[in-house]
Structure 1
Amino acid sequence: MDVTKLRRAVARTRLAPVAAFPKRLARVARHDAKLLRTSARWLVTSREHHNYTYELTRLSRQHLAWFVSVVCDVPVKQVRAWFQEIESDDALRRHIEQATAGAQRRGLADREVRYARRIGWYAIVRATRPALVVETGVDKGLGSCVLAAALLRNAAEGHPGRLASLDINPEAGYLARTAPWSEVVDLVVGDSIASIEALDRPVDLFLHDSDHSRAHEKREFDTVEARMAPGGLLLTDNVTHTNVLADHAERTGRRFLAYRETPARHWYPGDGIGVAW
């Protein structure tokens, strides 16, 4: 009996799990060894302790481009061009590097600029040309800068807009406090629910990225719902952990899609973008 026939014969017996164990063990060991090498390299080279930054894999970028194309009903080639636009913005990149190097919290931040799924945020703003974007949760302000850069490009093309960045931490958003990006950003310190309730203009694009508990995420979407402009988009950065936005979309008659990013050369499994429109 040749080897192939022997394997097939063993697979039909009670010995199959025992015979397969060495091969299964080797596959797990290879996977874990790769992850441990990546994790060890990150511990030595990175300073970040949360809100990790990284590049996307090539395949993940392609999927993100199609995700934005479908949600915004624009050609995927145009989405890829917007990705290239933000990643080629040397002025923004230099600003982030310099601001990070001079920040009081520089000991917990990497100077290398890596946008990951935020290039999707950028492309969505470029595609939808919102007059008012509201984001909850700012941290250093990397995402705020990306959103502001898109709004500045839109304004140069005759479609001005502003970003309201809401955070409970008065130290948040230090990357977004420099012109020209600060010229389209309103940093609002306080509870996100109270800040949303105080909005006096319709919201064209809302991004949840604050307290990621299910209860708080739901409160934000419930609160902002009555303040959304016709055709406005709801986004969540919490889509890999909860189904809150999908449930909200179903209750309000919206469509919903989710994208999960895949980081390149990083131990963290990645976050994603959920969109209801």
Structure 2
Amino acid sequence: MDATRLRRAIARTPLAPVAAFPGRLARVARYDAKVLRTSARWLATSREHHNYTYELTRLSREHLTWFVSVVCDVPVARVRGYLAEIAGDAALRRHIEQATARSARRGLADRRVRYARRVGWYAIVRATRPAHVVETGTDKGLGSCVLAAALLRNAAEGHPGRLTSLDVNPEAGYLARSAPWADVTDLVVGDSVAAIAALDRPVDLFLHDSDHSHDHERREFDAVEPKLAPGAVLLTDNVTTTGVLAEHAERTGRRFLAYRETPLDHWYPGDGIGVAW
């Protein structure tokens, strides 16, 4: 009996799980070894302790490109152009590197600039040309800078807009305090739900990226709903954690899509972007 016929014969017997165990164990071991190598390299070379930064795999970046194309109803080639813009923005990259090196938090931040899924935020802002973007959860201000960079490009093309970025930490947003990015950014300190309720102009694009609990995310979307301009776009940065935006989209008669990123050479499994429009 040849090897193939023998394997098929064993597969029909109670011995099948035992016979398959060594091969299954080898596959798991190879995967775990890769994760351990990646984790060890990160522990030795990175300073970050949360809000990890990384590049996307080539395939994940392509999936993100198509995701934005579908959501914003623009040609995929145009979205690729937007992603090339942010990748080639040398002034922004240099600013983030220098501001990180000068900051009080430099011991817990990497100077290398890696945007991950935030390039999707950039492309959505470029495609939709919002007059007012609201972001909750500023942290260092990396995402704020990406959003501001898109708004500056829009303004240069005759479509000005502003970013309102909300955070409870008065030290948040140090990356977004320099011109020209600060010229289109309003940093607001305080509770996000209360700050949303106090907004005095319509919101064209809203991004939730603050407290990732189900209750708080729901409260933010409920608070911003009456503030939205016609055709506003809603984003969540923790779509892999809760289904709040999908629930909100169904309740309010919107469409919803989610994108799951794949980090390149990083132990963190990544997060994603949820969009309702």
Identity rate, percent: 82
The two structures, once aligned, show a CA RMSD in angstroms of: 0.3
- Structure 1 residue 167: deviation in Å? 0.1
Q: Mapping of 1:86-165 within 5 angstroms?
A: 86-165=86-165
SS of the aligned residue for 1:264 comes to coil
Give the Cα separation in 2 of the matches to 1:63 and 1:228: 28
1:144 Cα deviation after fit? 0.1
Counterpart CA distance in 2 for 1:87 and 1:197 is 35
Task: Tell me the residue number matched to 1:68.
Answer: 68
Matched with 1:238 is 238
CA distance in 2, matches of 1:78, 1:116: 19
What are the ranges of 5 or more consecutive residues in structure 1 without an aligned counterpart? none
CA shift, 1:238, in A, is 0.9
Residue equivalent to 1:177: 177
Aligned partner of residue 263 in structure 1, secondary structure: coil
| Pairing 1:1-277 to 2, within 5 Å after superposition | 1-277=1-277
Structure 2 gap ranges (5+): none
Determine helix, strand or coil for the equivalent of 2:235. Answer: strand
| TM-score, normalised with respect to structure 1 | 1.00
2:21 and 2:267 mapped to 1: Cα distance?
26
Give the deviation of 1:236 after TM superposition.
0.1
Shift of 1:218: 0.3
1:212 Cα deviation from its structure 2 partner: 0.1
Paired amino acid for 1:133: V
1:176 maps to a residue whose letter is: A
- Structure 1 residue matching 2:133: 3-state secondary structure: strand
The residue type equivalent to 1:98 in the other structure is Q
1:176 CA displacement: 0.1
1:13 Cα deviation from its structure 2 partner = 0.4
Structure 1 residue 99: deviation in Å? Answer: 0.1
What TM-score do you get using the length of structure 2 for normalisation? Answer: 1.00
Per-residue CA deviations over 1:34-68 (Å, capped at 9, x if unaligned) read 00000000000000000000000000000000000
Aligned residue pair count: 277
For residue 162 of structure 1, report the CA deviation from its aligned partner: 0.1
Runs of 4+ in structure 1 deviating by more than 3 angstroms, as ranges, are none
Instruction: Report SS of the residue matched to 1:235.
Output: strand
Equivalent residue letter for 1:162: R
- Aligned counterparts of 2:230 and 2:21: Cα–Cα separation in 1: 57
